[in-house]
Structure 1
Amino acid sequence: MATADPHAATGDVWLPIPPGDIDGLPGGLSYVHWDAGPDYPADPARCVFYAVPYMKRADICLRPLPRMAGVRVVQTLTAGIEHMLPGLSHLPSGAVLSNARGLHDASTAELALTLTLASLRGIPDFVRAQDAGEWRGGFQPALADKSVLIVGYGSIGSAIEDRLTPFECARVIRIARTARDTVRGPVHPLSELTAHLPGADVVVLATPLTDGTRGLVGRDFLARMKDGALLVNVARGPVVDTGALLAELESGRLRAALDVTDPEPLPAGHPLWHAPGVLITPHVGGPSSAFLPRAKRLLREQLTLFAAGEPVRNVVATAPSPLASRSTKP
């Protein structure tokens, strides 16, 4: 892992949150506020730590990178970093890209549970009935006694299981890229995913978007899901083949609850809006009242390490550097 250069601390730190709103920022650094406005707050060439604006278009977030010749750390406020990867080639050698692992666990897991419960208990239909002034009862499935498969058992996947625990699920099956053991039980490798799909009543997607997960949920994946199963996506839209999902929804065999879609934003008139058995929220897993205090804490902790010349955490990529390659342990 690359170590921040304490001499680089003479430059600027770009923050998407006003510095005065973040208690406990380390001294000795020059802080400026930029949240993707048209004008830069300072010369990008002086930036040494760039905290990327949250929920802004990728092209805007990438725009200053070619001019940030002295940047040492690029810190996203998202767990996914795919929108910033095109800018890696612009970073000076040894600069690091860090994600926001842990920041969105509570909020995203809360929404995953909300989508699951709302879909199973038919809440969208009840809301439509309320709008129409109609009393429509009926028997609805419960989360209790269901088997839930979590695909992508990182910090968000684990937080989702935390919130499932009181609901008396029959079983929680955990899938990640590689196998490991946890205090709750085994995490199965991605290679075993197809074997576990037929037994799951609810499949929750919480995996990052990578070359290996893009289109993971395609025709074969969906065909292996049991009749009447619910697919919940709080990961990224392109993890799911939209055309294949639409075919299953329109047949009535599967249901879906989606916080992310492909394309996104979902355009007006797209058939997914009106497909039977689908609940859609507009990518709101992270943006909640839980975001700001956790974002401030992450930035404070990362900048404290940076100011002290210590390695920052959550590094997911490093700009090519012979020196960094020699100093990285195998």
Structure 2
Amino acid sequence: MNATVTACPALLVMSQEAFQAHFDQPRLGRLRELVRLPEPVWVDELDSPQARARLAEAELLITSWGVPRLTADRLAVAPRLKAVFHAAGSVRSMADDEFWSRDLVVTSAADANAVPVAEYTLAAVILAGKKAPFLAADAATAYRGWSLPRGYGDLSNFRRTIGVVGFSRIGRRVVELLRVLEGSTVLVADPYADPAEVAAAGAELVELDDLLPRVDVLSLHAPELPSTHHLIGAAELARLPDHATVVNTARGTLVDSVALAAECRPGRLFAILDVTDPEPLPADSPLRSTPNVMITPHLAGSLGTEIHRLTDHTLDELTRWLAGDPLRSRITAEAFPLSA
């Protein structure tokens, strides 16, 4: 697509670390061909006189991690602002009611960020099938040549049942990726999902209560909302079969950490957690000392060169907006309450 050169003034608002991760010289050069940038091209705050002067001129913002909340006071300084292109996933940290009342064009790179999260989740599901992380931690006592260790359940990825809670952009990708597991059955629980769309992706839509007792792996992909706080609590965990594994790459608050530790400590359940509640866990959290819980430091999302995928996605959206073409990842005020 040929970009239209424009004098549209833009401002990058993000942490220095985020700016350096997003914009190498080729991508910064591409951005300069699309919009007019001040010098320096980015800010990490919006309250100093210098930052407010730039904000007053900006017609669009490109934001990412470290962007301050776009409050009514800050938006009042930006009368020319038309659009916000968020080069990361969720916009919850920066958006409030006043933000949506301005009727701004808002896009997010959440679709691009869904790729590595779904890939990580697939890997976690496969490792969970073999109980690999837990056997690795217990290799000194569990490994006895070809004799199978006890207490881990069926070490297999053949004809397994995987439960996906939340048919979100990530949940949908996970369902599609799970097709690589021969003979697997994928169940989806999501009160807002279309059964036809779930079926087209290769899964079956069921109620959460029906899903829980049937799964070998439970993978969580719901947004963090008041209605999803501790969605998986003591009652739900008790319904999971013995040796099932809980995989959480969504938000830590979806799971009751105390209840999960109580089920995992005696060895009945297992867990692979890339997110926790709170995050990071305190040093004395029982989840830290439970052998059949693997915790990774919130690394499923975009890191390293994966961040360039987010940048490219954002620049593509910006190009479409400047050309007057339909946007592919716009977030509306109506859709925001159910987004991650």
Shorter-chain TM range is 0.7 to 0.9
Aligned 1:1-330 pairs, distance under 5 A:
10-14=8-12, 16=19, 17-18=22-23, 20-22=25-27, 24-25=30-31, 27=33, 29-31=35-37, 33-34=41-42, 36=44, 43-54=54-65, 56=66, 61-62=68-69, 66-68=73-75, 69=78, 70-85=80-95, 87-90=96-99, 93-125=102-134, 127-128=136-137, 137=145, 139=148, 141-176=155-190, 177-182=192-197, 183-185=200-202, 187-188=204-205, 192-289=207-304, 291-310=306-325, 312-318=327-333
Give deviations 1:246-283, integer Å, cap 9, x for gaps.
22222422111111111112232322211241111111
Range 9-18 or range 151-160, more displaced: 9-18
1:112 aligned counterpart, secondary structure: helix
Q: Distance in 1 between matches of 2:43 and 2:213?
A: 45
Q: Distance in 2 between matches of 1:78 and 1:163?
A: 22
TM-score (norm 1): 0.78
TM-score (norm 2): 0.76
Q: Distance in 2 between matches of 1:133 and 1:198?
A: 30
Q: Distance in 1 between matches of 2:72 and 2:325?
A: 23
5+ long unaligned stretches in structure 2: 14-18, 335-340
Q: CA deviation at 1:170?
A: 3.0
- Structure with more contact order per residue of length (Cα contacts < 8 Å, sep ≥ 6): 1
Q: Distance in 1 between matches of 2:61 and 2:109?
A: 13
What percentage of residue pairs aligned between the two structures are identical?
A: 28
5+ long unaligned stretches in structure 1: 1-5, 320-330
**Contact 1:107–1:290 (8 Å) recurs in 2:** no
The aligned residue for residue 338 of structure 2 is none
2:111 aligned counterpart, secondary structure: coil
| Cα 1:196/1:103, change in 2 over 3 Å | same
Q: Distance in 2 between matches of 1:35 and 1:231?
A: 40
Instruction: Give the structure with the higher percent strand.
Output: 1
Range 147-156 or range 111-120, more displaced: 111-120
Q: CA deviation at 1:309?
A: 4.1
Range 102-111 or range 195-204, more displaced: 102-111
Letter paired with 1:146: R
Q: Aligned residue pairs: how many?
A: 305
Range 257-266 or range 31-40, more displaced: 31-40
1:212 aligned counterpart, secondary structure: helix
Range 192-201 or range 175-184, more displaced: 175-184
Q: CA deviation at 1:37?
A: 7.4
Instruction: Give the structure with the higher percent helix.
Output: 2
The aligned residue for residue 325 of structure 1 is none
